[in-house]
Amino acid sequence: MNHQDHVRLISGGIPGPGGIWADLGSGSGAFTLALAECIGAEGKIYSVDKDSRALQSQRLAMLARFPAVETHFITADFSRQLELPALDGIVMANSLHFLSHKESALGLVRSYLKPGGRLVIVEYNTDRGNIWVPHPFSYQTWAAMARSAGFISSELLANRPSSFLGEIYSAVTIK
C-alpha cells in the first residue's frame, strides 16, 4: 500500500480538518502521515509506539512532508495508561491485533476520547491469525467487541484486497 491507500482507508472516519488526534501503536508512521494529511495544520497528533527508533523515523518523515502539523511523539505501550489530552479521535491501524485480550486496552482508548469522539480502526478482515498477525478480527467481530466496550456505533468505511490475510478494512467507531 502507498500513502494514498492509507489516506483512503481512514479519511471517511475523520470529519474534517483540525482536532486533537492520536495514533496508537503507530509503528513506522504510515497512518500517522495519512492522519496528518486528513486533519491538516489545524490539527494536533500524538503518535504513540513502544519503538523509539520508529518514532524518530516518523519525526523525520513528518518534518519533511507535514511540518505544519503539530505532532508529539510518545514512546510508550498503548495498552497501559497514557497521559493524553481529551481526544477528538484515535487511529489504531494494525495495532490491536497484537493483543490477545483487548478489553482493558479498549477501555483505556475509550477513556481518552471526548463524547462523540471517533476511533478509526484498520485491520485484517479475518478472525484467524498467524505468527506475524496473532489476533486479527473481522469487521463483524469488531462491531460486537466495540459494543461490548461501551462504544455507541461502528461503521465499515472501506476495504481492499491484501496479499497478506486476504483483505484489510477500516471502520469508524463512535464513543
44-84: per-residue pLDDT in tens?
999 999 999 999 999 999 999 999 999 999 999 999 999 99
For 32, phi then psi, to 5°, come to: -65, -45
Of all residues in the chain, the percent with pLDDT exceeding 90 is 84
Q: What is the dihedral of CA 132, 134, 135, 140, to 10 degrees?
A: 50
- Candidates 152, 66, 159, 86; CA nearest to 121 is 159
**CATH number of the domain where residue 121 is located:** 3.40.50.150
Tell me how many domains the chain contains.
1
Domain span at residue 120 reads 3-174
CB–CB of 9/34 below 8 Å?
yes
How far apart are alpha carbons 136 and 102 in whole angstroms? 11
Query: What's residue 166's pLDDT?
Result: 81
CB–CB of 142/123 below 8 Å?
yes
This prediction's pTM:
0.94
Q: Tell me if residue 28 falls in helix, strand or coil.
A: coil
Distances (CA, A) of 17 to 10, 135, 139: 13, 32, 26
How far apart are alpha carbons 37 and 163 in whole angstroms? 26
Summarize the confidence of residues 118-143 as an average pLDDT. Answer: 93
Q: Where are the alpha helices (DSSP H) in 14-162?
A: 30-39, 52-65, 103-112, 139-148
Report pLDDT digits (tens) over 21-45: 999 999 999 999 999 999 999 999 9
Contact partners, residue 39, CB within 8 Å, separation at least 6: 14, 17, 18, 19, 21, 45, 69
Q: Give rounded-to-5 percent helix, strand, coil for the chain.
A: 35, 35, 35
